[in-house]
Structure 1
């Protein structure tokens, strides 16, 4: 049975850029902000997110950028 998992890595060679590799099956997050840019690559499944007043879906193969 697949389980949710997440791994956060800081890359010192890229000024300690944080890299999150995760597999979320049912994880939800409340609306929030990030201090810097966030890039997401959807390898499988989809991500639902709120932006500009409505919900959006990023399907497998999409790249998302949030400032």
Structure 2
């Protein structure tokens, strides 16, 4: 896992669409209106975790 402070950003930061392999997915909370899921993703050989909020008609990462 990448720890906070282990990386240095160089240059501009921009969003890009790059599909990543989901190694594992775990539901953290399932509710009537929204749910939370944690995905472990292979990011160029390193495993990172993404917490995802799922909402009726919307999604956020």
Q: TM-score, normalised by structure 2?
A: 0.29
Q: TM-score, normalised by structure 1?
A: 0.27
Q: Which of 1 and 2 has greater Rg?
A: 2
More helix by share: 1
